[in-house]
Structures are given as structure tokens and as C-alpha cells.
Amino acid sequence: MLVIAAVVAGVVFVGRSGGSNNSTSAKVPDNSQLVGLQTGPAPWNPGLDTLPDRLKPVGVHALTNEGEVLHIHQHLDIYVNGKHEVVPQGIGIYDGQFLTELHTHDASGIMHVESPVAKNFDLGQFFGVWGVRLTNDCVGGYCQELTPWTVYVNGQPYRGDPASLVLKEHQEIAFVIGTPPKNVPATYKFPAGL
């Protein structure tokens, strides 16, 4: 009986310690595995064809209205060999049926984070909604081994995993792919009320 109790205790201990090691990260799944991912060169379309299939893996929801508990904005610039690429309108807005917490209304590059609950959202989730590959090594069809690129936040190089970058109010985020532009933007003049 004592041997059985020791075996059961050992199994419970191993199960718990294994479980705790495996559950330390509540991170969004690897964006490179999402359905309908755009892995070619810019410009990228709004990625709406398979958006409903990406909602759950990305950790966003189909909302009927913009959320009002968390309502912040960032600006995103994409430069490829010095040329400014458009961030399309309608990212995260599905054919008038629903919108997600992360979306764009126009082609200005303004990202809207509008959620019914207070929580952090990250750049990987935005790119997941957009349907554009974003990993530590690749953005769309540009991978570091062939085409070096850098992410800048408020004009400063960001050295972490870009997918993990937490979105905060009035950030200026710039992807500089290949040859940089003459000036990497450090700020963006948001319209009144944003």
C-alpha cells in the first residue's frame, strides 16, 4: 500500500511539474502557421478572405461594435527599399458583418485597438488579423537571411521579437525592409480625437 501511495505521489508530482513548465507561456500561436497568411512581397491586401479562420488562433473576436473599454491608436509605416508601402484600409473589418478589436478604417496607417475588455494586444495579433506573416525572422515575404529589416518604435530600433511588441497609445511603429528611407519616422500627428 505504501509503495502504491509513493508511485501515485510521484506521478502527481511529475504531472504537475511538467504541466507548469509547459504552461508558462500564454502567448499567441506562431503567426507563421495561420490560415491564409500572406508570405510574399508588399504591398499586402487586408487579408479578409480567411479572417474568420484566424480569429481564435490570433486571440481576437468577431464584434458587432467597436469596443469602448480599451480605445487606443498606433501608427504603422512599412518601407521597402526606401519606398513607403500602404497599410490597407479595412484590416479586421469583415464584409460589414463584424470587426475585430484590431482594425484599420482607412489607408493612413492608423491602427485602431478598440476592445470591450481591458487587456494588452500585441503587434503579432495585428499582423495575424491582417494575415501577414510576422515572426522574429520574417515579415511577409522578407526574411532576415535574404533581406535584412528592422522594426522601429518611436524612432528607436526595437530589438525584441516584433510579434511580442505590446501596442500602446500613439506609438509610431515602422518596418524598414532593405534600404532604409532618408528618415525613419519617430512620431505621427494623429487627428484630433484619436
- pLDDT tens, position by position, 70-116: 999 999 999 999 999 999 999 999 998 999 999 999 999 999 999 99
Residue 113 lies in a domain: yes
| Segments forming the whole domain that contains residue 148 | 28-177
Residue 10 lies in a domain: no
Global confidence as pTM: 0.85
Per the structure, how many domains does the chain have?
A: 1
The secondary structure element, H or E, covering residue 12 is helix 2-22
pLDDT, position 33? 80
Residue 155 reports pLDDT greater than 70: yes
- Distance (Å, whole) CA 191 – CA 194: 6
Residue 189 lies in a domain: no
